[in-house]
Amino acid sequence: MLSLVPTMPRHVVSQALAVLSGTFVLLAFAGVGQAQLTVTVNQVQGRDVGDRPLTAPILFNATDCDDKELELTIGAIPVGTTVLDFWRGTGCDQVEPRTSTVTSACTYLFSLTSFMTPASQLWNDEIKVSDLGGCTVGADNTAVDVYILAATMMRTPEVITSSFKFSTRFDLVAPAPPTGLSAGSGSTAVPVTWTRSSGIINGYRVYVGTDATSSEGGACGGGGLVAGALPPAGARLAVTTSASGGSADLNLVELGLEVGESVSVGVTARDEALNDGVLSEIVCVTRVETCGYLCQRGGDVSTCSAAPGTPRAAGGLGVALLSAALLLLARARRSRGAR
Amino acid sequence: MSRLALGLPLALALVTALVAPNRAAAQDGLADWSEPTNPESSERFALELRVGPYTPDTGDAAFDAVFGGSSLLFAAEFDVVPFRIRDVLTLGVGVGIGFSSYSGVANAPDGTPTSEKTSLSIVPMNVMAVLRVVALPRLLRIPLLLTGKIGADFVYWSSSTGDAQEGEGISPGLRWAVQAALELDFFEPRAARALDDEWGINHSFLFFEIYGSSAGGSSLPVGSPLAWSAGLGFNF
């Protein structure tokens, strides 16, 4: 027997192995001994979801359920594979090839088949996010696992050649708005502070209304911003902060405010699935004239201010002093060398 | 001011205590600690790194009202020492630069505080003649250096409120300083010798300096008649 092996055609060997392994049609994803497919998820119709190996669940938000497609790149497909079966489920740990009659707790999605084209060139495909079953209205952190089975249909039952499983999570609930919004006063930049929202937050977005330059005397009309509603299309996104942010500086000059003019400001929270929440309470920010140290000093020192080129002049003085030191250093070294 | 005034000398004393070796080691090196550690390594330069509280004497009550007092001033000085009377004194030229910043709350014109910050930053730059008496450690083996400095001070200052600059300028003036320094070679003669052999650093010292500046002129008065700093210095 041993002496026959080297002369046995390779396809005979592979078929024999396939028949042997074909008796195990069920594939347990935990602890499976086969080499895994390599799968990367690139985008959900324009939204980058990582383009990386799937070590962490992919997060989907409410807008992803709007018939968006999950773009997959599948590699390391074993030679001889003729079909890729896609399944989904929550908590099921076994799936079977499509043609099997074994009942599964998982839901079959679709298959990709290939007979003439090498599988590695064919299977870069997409899954509709809505088909994954997590797009239930109000779903909050619903987990859905996706299973990919590589198999050959040349035999009955099919022979599983490889597999892959990755997790997704559907977060369709927008975060609550931050509370306790307040704003200071100033001539150029004004701090806006709030109490952070609960839950896993990705960041905060500070919006200003369209009343930025229309009202004078410290009055605000809301400028289209309404507490508890989504920011209107015309609202201006002024600042974004990180998840740890509980404050932001609003640059009144960039907003075009003159002294005495006011603008409405509201803040929304954005969760880790990039769901945007509704606006917090709306506050009014007014640009006021301020008096800094020189102003409070009362003197006319500002007239002693150097021309705009002064910082360079100050720097030049420093360079001159340093140059003098280096000159003396070089001279001292020369004199030492001469001795 | 008082906390800083007490804190830095205490820190200096602590550093001195930490670098002090055991008695035996000190006695080992007592015979030669003040000798030139490496005849091939000449002393031509000095570098001083210092920190201390600083309050510009702006001649108005607004400074304390807005900024609330002193802030730390960090500075460095580089000396070139072309002249010397061996084992007695050295005479050189030093250039220095420092930085300090003060921040407070800007008021509305009616005097009510706003949420905007107002700040004053100063960058003192100076060039001074430096006379250092080295006779005590070299001739009497007392590890104490005495130094006097006098020269010109040019302080660049800039004040801003919120994101807008309120004013800036350069205030010239006269600067003087008196320094007492403790040579650290006494505590670790072998380490000092190794430092000289490997890096060319002849002596290191901890110092305490009293200084004053009349920087102001027609610009913002940012000098101080009396201030102090402490730090670490090297001769090389």
Q: Among A1-10, A91-100, A330-339, name the one with the lowest average pLDDT.
A: A1-10
Which residues of chain B does A318 touch, with a Cβ-Cβ cutoff of 8 Å? 97, 125
- Under the banding of pLDDT at 50, 70 and 90, the label for residue A157 is low
Residue B12 confidence (pLDDT) above 60: no
CB B125 within 8 A of CB B78: no
Report the range out of A20-24, A105-109, A188-192 with the highest average pLDDT: A188-192
Kindly provide the residue ranges of all beta strands, DSSP E only, lying in A76-232, ordered along the sequence. 83-89, 94-95, 107-113, 126-128, 140-152, 159-171, 179-183, 189-195, 201-208
A306–chain B Cβ distance below 8 A for any pair: yes
Residue B38 confidence (pLDDT) above 60: no
Mean pLDDT over B207-232 rounds to: 94
- Under the banding of pLDDT at 50, 70 and 90, the label for residue A164 is confident
Domains with residue ranges and CATH for chain B: 2-235 (2.40.160.20)
What pLDDT shows up at residue A277?
92
What percent of chain A lies above the pLDDT cut of 90?
12
Domains with residue ranges and CATH for chain A: 5-171 (2.70.50), 179-286 (2.60.40.10)
What pLDDT shows up at residue A309?
31
Residue B10 confidence (pLDDT) above 60: no
Mean pLDDT over A136-142 rounds to: 77
Q: Among A141-155, A219-233, B36-50, B202-216, name the one with the lowest average pLDDT.
A: B36-50
pLDDT tens-digit readout, A210-255: 776 665 555 677 778 889 999 988 788 999 998 888 889 898 888 8
Residue among B62, B97, B115 whose CB faces A297 most closely: B62
Interface-testing mutation among B40, B156, B175, with chain A (most A C-beta atoms within 10 A): B156
Interface-testing mutation among A249, A290, A317, with chain B (most B C-beta atoms within 10 A): A290
CB-based contact B123 A314, cutoff 8 Å: yes
Q: Which residue of B has its CA nearest to A183?
A: B115
CB A210 within 8 A of CB A265: no
What pLDDT shows up at residue A312?
38
What pLDDT shows up at residue A118?
60
Residue B223 confidence (pLDDT) above 70: yes
pLDDT tens-digit readout, A315-326: 445 555 556 556
- Under the banding of pLDDT at 50, 70 and 90, the label for residue A156 is low
What pLDDT shows up at residue B6?
44
- Under the banding of pLDDT at 50, 70 and 90, the label for residue A75 is confident
Mean pLDDT over A189-211 rounds to: 89
Residue A144 confidence (pLDDT) above 50: yes
Which residues of chain A does B120 touch, with a Cβ-Cβ cutoff of 8 Å? 293
Could you say which DSSP state residue B11 is in?
H
The DSSP element (H or E) to which B29 belongs, if any, is helix B23-30
Listed in sequence order, the residues at least 6 apart from B212 whose beta carbon sits closer than 8 Å to its beta carbon are B175, B176, B177, B223, B224, B225, B226, B227
What percent of chain B lies above the pLDDT cut of 90?
56
Residue B13 confidence (pLDDT) above 70: no
What pLDDT shows up at residue B56?
94
Q: How far is CA B161 from CA A11, A58, A236, A238, A316, in A?
A: 81, 46, 26, 21, 26
Mean pLDDT over A296-325 rounds to: 49
Mean pLDDT over A92-117 rounds to: 67
Listed in sequence order, the residues at least 6 apart from A113 whose beta carbon sits closer than 8 Å to its beta carbon are A82, A83, A84, A153
Mean pLDDT over B16-34 rounds to: 42
pLDDT tens-digit readout, B61-108: 889 989 988 899 999 999 999 999 988 999 999 999 999 999 999 988
Residue A173 confidence (pLDDT) above 80: yes
The DSSP element (H or E) to which A73 belongs, if any, is strand A69-75
Of B1 and A130, the structure prediction assigns the larger pLDDT to: A130
Shortest Cα distance, chain B CAs vs residue A190, angstroms: 7
Mean pLDDT over A180-206 rounds to: 90
Distance (Å, rounded) from C-alpha B57 to C-alpha B173?
13
Residue A89 confidence (pLDDT) above 60: yes
Shortest Cα distance, chain B CAs vs residue A213, angstroms: 20
- Under the banding of pLDDT at 50, 70 and 90, the label for residue B14 is very low
What pLDDT shows up at residue A324?
59
What pLDDT shows up at residue A304?
33
Residue among B82, B115, B118 whose CB faces A292 most closely: B118
Q: What is the ipTM of this complex?
A: 0.74
Which residues of chain B does A328 touch, with a Cβ-Cβ cutoff of 8 Å? 80, 82, 93
What pLDDT shows up at residue A261?
86
What percent of chain A lies above the pLDDT cut of 70?
64
What pLDDT shows up at residue B60?
86
What pLDDT shows up at residue A95?
65
* Cis peptide bond upstream of A157, omega within 30: yes
Which residues of chain B does A187 touch, with a Cβ-Cβ cutoff of 8 Å? 106, 114, 116, 161-162, 164
Count Cβ–Cβ pairs < 8 Å, chain A vs chain B. Answer: 152
Mean pLDDT over A194-201 rounds to: 87
pLDDT tens-digit readout, A248-287: 989 888 888 888 888 899 999 998 888 899 999 999 988 8
- Under the banding of pLDDT at 50, 70 and 90, the label for residue A332 is low
CB-based contact B93 A318, cutoff 8 Å: no
pLDDT tens-digit readout, A48-63: 766 556 777 888 888 8
Residue among B62, B108, B219 whose CB faces A290 most closely: B108
A299–chain B Cβ distance below 8 A for any pair: yes
Residue among B114, B127, B168 whose CB faces A184 most closely: B114
CB-based contact B107 A188, cutoff 8 Å: no
Residue among B154, B167, B170 whose CB faces A294 most closely: B167
Listed in sequence order, the residues at least 6 apart from B93 whose beta carbon sits closer than 8 Å to its beta carbon are A324, A325, A328, B79, B80, B82, B127, B128, B129, B130
CB-based contact A314 B156, cutoff 8 Å: yes
Distance (Å, rounded) from C-alpha B53 to C-alpha B63?
15
Query: Mean pLDDT score of chain B, rounded to an integer?
Result: 84
Residue A165 confidence (pLDDT) above 60: yes
Residue among A187, A313, A331 whose CB faces B164 most closely: A187
Which residues of chain A does B97 touch, with a Cβ-Cβ cutoff of 8 Å? 318, 321
Q: Cβ atoms within 10 A of the Cβ of A67, count? A: 11
Question: Hey, what are A279's tokens?
Answer: 């606006």
Mean pLDDT over A1-22 rounds to: 40
Shortest Cα distance, chain A CAs vs residue B214, angstroms: 17
State the Rg of chain A over Cα: 33
Residue B148 confidence (pLDDT) above 90: yes
Block residue for tokens 């109490």: A195
Q: Which residue of B has its CA nearest to A329?
A: B80
CB-based contact B95 A321, cutoff 8 Å: yes
pTM of the model: 0.60
What pLDDT shows up at residue A3?
35
Question: Hey, what are B73's tokens?
Answer: 């001033």
Distance (Å, rounded) from C-alpha A1 to C-alpha A7?
11
